Every structure is written in structure tokens, then in C-alpha cells.
Structure 1
Amino acid sequence: MAIEADKKGHPRKVTVGSASAPFALNLTEATRARPQHLRSWYRISSAASHSSSWLVQQASALDEKGQLVMYADADTICAATLSVLAAFEDLTHTLGTYHGRDPRRAVATVQSRTKAVLMRQARWRDQMRRDIHELYG
């Protein structure tokens, strides 16, 4: 195994035998390869990649004492969870295939969990609509 460094000494690529892989991840290429994961990946990664604070700003407020508090944003929680599940789905498929196993059953399990997250998100949105209607008519 060999690790190649860039001009600054940071790891650039790893080579094992005849196979090599870069350390850098091109998020645009990754989302093209898995378009069904695009929305959740973009929501979580855009704040970091654009050095933006919108993700934190939408999940913070002042409490009754004027102290900054963080609260959970359902869409952000779902996006983060979907991002992890998407990566886990890809990893499950890759490892199963690499080890000569049929990964379809394990991948289906991850996909069923992904569906459960999406259903939960839909319930949260429905509750939000009911709350808004109750508050504002």
C-alpha cells in the first residue's frame, strides 16, 4: 500500500496493488452517480461547502432569558439521516459485492429504513401544517 501526497504534504491518493483511489471527493460527481440521494446530500453539504451559516441560523433562537438556544429542524434532521443512510446503502452494496455475497437483502433493509425516515418527515410536515392552521386559521 502506498499513500501519495500533494505539494503541501496532504494525502492525495492511496494505492493498493493495481488499484488506486483519490482522497478528494467530488460531490457533484458523487451526486450524479446516485441522483436519488441528491436532495439530502445537497442540503447538508451546501452550508459547509459554501462557508454559509444558514444551517445554524435557521436552528437557533433566543430563549425567554435572551440566551442563544439551538432547536431541532425536522428537515435538517431528516436530510442528515438520509445522507448517512445513502452512504450506508452504498457501503453495504460495495462490501457485500467485494466479499462475494449478494447484498440485495441487506440493501433492501437500508432502503426500508430510508422509507421510514421519509414517512416520518411527511408526518412532521403534516403536523406543522395542522399547527399553522390552528394558530393562524
Structure 2
Amino acid sequence: MSTTVLEHTIATAEAQVLQLLLAQDVDALQAWLSPSLFFSDGAGQWLGAHPFLTAWSTGQLRISALEQGAVEPLVCGQLTLVSSDVRLRYADAGGEHARALRLLRVWATASNTAGVHLLSIGLLPPRLV
């Protein structure tokens, strides 16, 4: 897959993932996620499965808005790194919440119908503007 095609494929995948998160479509989202999806924090520490995603997939958390700043992709062979600042609004048993953070997503080429899947998500502090 050429770099341009891969960047377009991942941009499409990211838009689809965003829509599925907002629609609370757990089953459809699974098609985009690697079976070994893991999260890491700003220090690079492995977090494994993130409780936020678990709460979302069980209906205990609902995302009401997810806005991205400028998206920065970097293709590295079979992997593509994508980073952006994100503003997230969600509700859980504790009420409504807002959070700003920077997400570093690692997409890998895959043999699924989309040709890519989300391998890892790094949770970082937002950039200071």
C-alpha cells in the first residue's frame, strides 16, 4: 500500500472510529481494533486495556462529543503514527465530564477488509498553546 493510500485509509478509519464511538456501536468498533490493542501513558508505561474503553463498551460511559485538533500522521513502513489534541465530553455514573488530552494512535496494516487496525493508543497531556 503506498504512503498516500495508507494515509487516506487511516483517515477514513479514524473518521469511522469517531462515528462509532459517538454512536455507542461496540460491535462495529471491534472490526477496527487489533485483538491486542493496548494503551500507554505519557511516561510510556503499558496500561493494557483502558478502563475508559471497557466502561464505554459495557454502556457505563457515553461519549457526547469528541473534537480533534490538527491531525499529524507519520507513516513508518507497516505502522502509521497519528497524533492530535482531543477534547472529550462524556457522561458516566459520576455525571458529565470534559477532558483535554493528546492521543497518539498506532495503526498497523492488517489482513481485515479495511486493510488497517488500531494497535495502540498513547494517552498524553495536551500540548500547551
Structure with greater proportional helix content: 1
TM-score, reference length from structure 2: 0.26
- Higher-Rg member (1/2): 1
Structure with greater proportional strand content: 2
